[in-house]
Amino acid sequence: MNILTLDIGTTSMRGMLFGPGGQVLGMESVKTPLLIDKSEGRMEQRPEVYEEGLLAICRSIASRDRVGAISVTAFRSAPTLVDRDGRALRNFIMWQDTRNSDICQRFRHADALVYNTCGASVNTVFTVTKLIWMKENEPELYDRAYKAMIVPDYVIHRMTGEFATDRTYGSRTLLMDIRTLSWSREMCDLFGIGEEKLCELRDQGAVVGRVNRAFSEMTGIAEGTPVVSAGGDQQLGALGLGVMDGRTIEVNSGTGSFVISLTDRPYLENPSVICNVAAIQGMYTQEMNVIASASALDWLIREYFPEYWGEHPDYPAVDSIAEKTPPGANGLLVVPHFQGCGSRDWNPEARAHFAGFSLGTRRSDMVRALYEGIAAEIAKSIDMLPETCREATSIAVAGGLSRSQIYNRILCDMTGRTLVRHRNAQATAVGAFVSAAVALGLYPDCRSALEAARAGDEGEVLRPDPANARLYRDIKLRTERLYRAAHPDLKMTKTETEG
Q: State the first-to-last Cα distance of the chain, in angstroms, to the nearest integer.
A: 51
Using left for φ > 0, alpha for ψ between -120 and 50, and beta otherwise, residue 181 falls in: left
Angle at 73 between CA 316 and CA 431, to 5 degrees: 70
pLDDT digits (tens, 9 = 90+) for 45-69: 999 999 999 999 999 999 999 999 9
Taking each helix axis from N to C end, the angle separating 427-439 and 446-453, rounded to the nearest 10 degrees, works out to 130
Split at pLDDT 50, 70, 90, the class of 253 is very high
Q: Is the pLDDT of residue 172 over 90?
A: yes
Q: Is the pLDDT of residue 424 over 90?
A: no
Q: DSSP states of 90-141 as a string? A: SPEEPTT--TTHHHHHHTGGGHHHHHHHHSS---SSSHHHHHHHHHHHSHHH
Q: Is the pLDDT of residue 495 over 70?
A: no
Q: Is the pLDDT of residue 262 over 50?
A: yes
pLDDT digits (tens, 9 = 90+) for 1-48: 999 999 999 889 999 999 999 999 999 999 998 988 867 789 999 999
pLDDT digits (tens, 9 = 90+) for 322-371: 999 999 999 999 999 998 998 888 788 899 999 999 999 999 999 999 99
For the chain, percent of residues with pLDDT exceeding 90:
86
pLDDT the model gives residue 69: 98
pTM: 0.89
Between 469 and 255, the more confident residue is 469
CA atoms of 499 and 487, how far apart (whole Å) = 19
Split at pLDDT 50, 70, 90, the class of 488 is confident
pLDDT digits (tens, 9 = 90+) for 71-88: 999 999 999 999 999 999
CA atoms of 331 and 340, how far apart (whole Å) = 24
pLDDT digits (tens, 9 = 90+) for 105-146: 999 999 999 999 999 999 999 999 999 999 999 999 999 999
pLDDT the model gives residue 494: 42
Q: Is the pLDDT of residue 92 over 60?
A: yes
Q: Which domains does the chain have, with CATH numbers?
A: 3-235 (3.30.420.40), 242-421+465-499 (3.30.420.40)
397: which residues sit within 8 A by CB, 6+ positions away? 241, 250, 251, 252, 253, 408, 411, 419, 420, 421
Residue 43 bridge partners (DSSP): 36
Using left for φ > 0, alpha for ψ between -120 and 50, and beta otherwise, residue 70 falls in: beta
CA atoms of 107 and 122, how far apart (whole Å) = 7
Q: Is the pLDDT of residue 260 over 70?
A: yes
Whole-number average pLDDT of the chain: 94
pLDDT the model gives residue 492: 54
Reduce the DSSP state of residue 352 to 3 states and report it.
coil
